[in-house]
Chain A
Amino acid sequence: QKEVEQNSGPLSVPEGAIASLNCTYSDRGSQSFFWYRQYSGKSPELIMSIYSNGDKEDGRFTAQLNKASQYVSLLIRDSQPSDSATYLCAVNGRPSGGYQKVTFGIGTKLQVIP
């Protein structure tokens, strides 16, 4: 079982719709959860962090965390063509060897259709 699982997509949504991206993780002791956006040919950029159960909203983005189900999601409201990118789910697990390693999922490619 992979540590962080995502559907690679592509996920296609029409402009203005809600895009829902999902992620599950295997380490129940994971403490921090992140969503990164990666445009083609660029490095990932952090768009959301979430640390406790529930929802966290930032503009058009809402991250949702359910530790009991080991599930984290990202909702993008009013999707725009500029949101088309690969979205990486990342989990910061328990410290090992003196540091915490951020583990990334494979990423979900989102296509917003004008």
Chain B
Amino acid sequence: GAVVSQHPSWVICKSGTSVKIECRSLDFQATTMFWYRQFPKQSLMLMATSNEGSKATYEQGVEKDKFLINHASLTLSTLTVTSAHPEDSSFYICSASFRPEAFFGQGTRLTVV
């Protein structure tokens, strides 16, 4: 299957700081990437859809000014959590579509202290 690499795998940051998470498609070009958040024992929740060269599309209830998404190239999308707070602590996962299937990055566990 196609390979999606996500970095970092885990990060701890202080409240009020910003954290950037990278998602790369390693062996294919991804016009569209997706960002999910998953709280413990809960299902995946789609946050936004990242489109190369254009603005991201955010799901209802997701603050676009807090979760900044940039899809600068066909192989890289970034999610920046700005002014992070403890309630933003979660497992963030990106995915990219290759043909009809979606492949996931390894996920980033964010802990805000």
Which residues of A are at the interface with B, using a C-beta cutoff of 8 A?
31-32, 34, 36, 41-46, 49, 51, 88, 90, 92, 97-102, 104-107
Which chain A residues lie closer than 8 Å to B44 at the CB level? 44, 88, 104, 107
In the complex, the answer to whether A90 meets B43 with C-beta atoms within 8 Å is no
**In the complex, which range does the number of interface residues on chain B fall in?**
20 to 34
In the complex, the answer to whether A43 meets B102 with C-beta atoms within 8 Å is no
**Closest chain A residue to B106 by CB distance?**
A43
In the complex, the answer to whether A104 meets B43 with C-beta atoms within 8 Å is yes
| Listed stretches B11-19, B62-70, B81-89, B92-100; interface member | B92-100
Per the bound structure, the CA–CA distance linking A31 and B101 in Å amounts to 11
In the complex, the answer to whether B43 meets A105 with C-beta atoms within 8 Å is yes
Which chain A residues lie closer than 8 Å to B6 at the CB level? 43
Which chain A residues lie closer than 8 Å to B105 at the CB level? 43
**Closest chain B residue to A97 by CB distance?**
B57
Identify which of A42, A97, A102 contacts B102 (C-beta below 8 A): A102
Which chain B residues lie closer than 8 Å to A100 at the CB level? 97, 100
Per the bound structure, the CA–CA distance linking A102 and B51 in Å amounts to 15
Which residues of B are at the interface with A, using a C-beta cutoff of 8 A?
1, 6, 31-32, 34, 43-44, 46, 49, 51, 57, 91, 93, 95, 97, 100-107, 109
Which chain A residues lie closer than 8 Å to B31 at the CB level? 99
**Closest chain A residue to B104 by CB distance?**
A43
Given the interface pairs A31-B100, A90-B102, the reply to whether A99 lies near B95 with Cβ below 8 Å is no
Which chain B residues lie closer than 8 Å to A106 at the CB level? 43
Identify which of B43, B46, B93, B101 contacts A43 (C-beta below 8 A): B93
Which chain A residues lie closer than 8 Å to B46 at the CB level? 101, 104
In the complex, the answer to whether A43 meets B97 with C-beta atoms within 8 Å is no
Counting from the closest, the 9 A-B pairs by CB-CB distance are: A32-B100, A43-B107, A106-B43, A43-B104, A99-B32, A102-B102, A43-B93, A92-B100, A104-B44
Per the bound structure, the CA–CA distance linking A104 and B101 in Å amounts to 12
Q: Which of the listed residues A42, A44, A98 has the most CB atoms from chain B within 10 Å of its own CB? A: A44
